[in-house]
Amino acid sequence: MPTATEDQIGWQIVREISVKAAGLLLPIFERQHGRNGRLSIQTDPRLYRNTKAILEQATEFSLLAPNIIVKIPVTRAGLPAIEEATHRGVSINATVSFTLPQAIAVAEAVERGLKRRESVPRIDKPVEPKVVDALSKKFIDFGRAFAEGGLSIEEFDSFGPTRRTLRQFVAGCGELGAIIRDFMLPEW
Active site members: 71
Distance, CA of 38 to CA of 4 (rounded, Å): 30
Distance, CA of 80 to CA of 179 (rounded, Å): 33
Residue 33, CA distances (Å) to 30, 66, 172 in order: 5, 11, 33
Residue 65, CA distances (Å) to 27, 37, 62, 125 in order: 12, 12, 7, 30
